[in-house]
Chains A and B, each alone.
Chain A
């Protein structure tokens, strides 16, 4: 039987971070199905550690770090399987199918097309470069926050970011997305 007080405490600690965590899950996993699994696994783990969680000064950062570590662990396990299920988010540009299209149809189409090209360009980066550029340039995490979350030193984050941007510029310049 679950203690309703525990549930209430849990919600109070974690709920303010849900949107940020869901976005992070999407950035890490790249598909809805996996992002939801990652998010769910994190909450299960966090609830199991509620006694510790309530004493953590910055639960948001802690939750991000745990999610990242879970992702890395799952990813390693997944890579070892050598046989995978691919859902739409793994195919460049297809993960954007879930986006709401409530702008004017023409402008929206152009915008979506740009994001599709960006998505395809991001798929051409190595995973470590893609992650850094998404965390820093898209999600707005600071260098120190990325170091804290991933354990990658700031100097390495900077150099990966520099290389990732250069490669993206090159790809998107070649296909005319940026000029």
Chain B
């Protein structure tokens, strides 16, 4: 290994060692614990109910009513799809960027953005659904959407991409502060 190589390696390692990470926001850990205890308790209850159900079957008890109830119990938290979210301020423009990854170049794809009540797309006042015809490149395609909140309600934004008989829908939770 020559001197230059060694020096570069040392410089690189020093840089990597100092490479910073922002600290957690004040109060974030406490809030995370509160949410975990609340949601984790629900999960524990679900697990105990399921465990109880198993024991009952083993004991040969006929508990059809409980079975039916368990079948309709909401899914455990793990099974809930994660919807990404953004928080935007009232009456201020906020740009979110969606990335559409495409395995191939696509001509004449249709993109439809559906907005929750009280959220508008800059340049499209009063419209809850906007549709474009667009072409996608192979790889990543970036779509910036500038949102404006007119009411504090928030809701879910849907972006649906269609091409021939295929389609994908992206959901984004929009909260208003």
Contacts and interface: CB of A to CB of B under 8 A. Distances in A.
Contact of A48 (B13, B43, B98): B43
Contacts of A172: 8, 12, 15
A125 B137 CA distance: 22
Interface in A1-51: 2, 6-7, 10-11, 14-15, 18-19, 22-23, 26-27, 32-33, 36-37, 39-40, 43-48, 50
A43 B101 contact: no
Interface in B8-51: 8-9, 11-13, 15-24, 28-29, 32-33, 35-41, 43-44, 47
Interface residues of B, number: 49
A76 interface: no
Given A26-B21, A99-B20, A115-B19, A168 B36 contact: no
Interface residues of A, number: 57
Given A83-B159, A118-B15, A138-B16, A44 B97 contact: no
Interface in B141-177: 142, 159, 161, 168-170, 172
Given A43-B40, A178-B12, 20 more contacts: A10-B37, A15-B29, A23-B21, A36-B24, A45-B40, A46-B36, A50-B44, A82-B101, A82-B102, A83-B168, A85-B86, A85-B96, A85-B99, A85-B172, A95-B22, A96-B22, A118-B16, A118-B19, A138-B16, A138-B19
A39 B38 contact: no
Contacts of B168: 81-83
Nearest to A4: B37
B32 A43 contact: yes
B33 A169 contact: no
B161 to A, nearest CB: 7
Interface in B76-113: 77-78, 82, 84, 86, 96-102
B13 to A, nearest CB: 6
Interface of A: 2, 6-7, 10-11, 14-15, 18-19, 22-23, 26-27, 32-33, 36-37, 39-40, 43-48, 50, 74, 77, 81-87, 95-96, 98-100, 114-115, 118-119, 133-134, 137-138, 140, 165, 168-169, 172-173, 177-179
A84 B171 CA distance: 9
A86 B41 contact: no
Given A26-B22, A36-B28, A81-B168, A133 B99 contact: no
Contact of B98 (A45, A74, A86, A165): A86
Contacts of A74: 82
B142 A44 contact: no
A137 B17 contact: yes
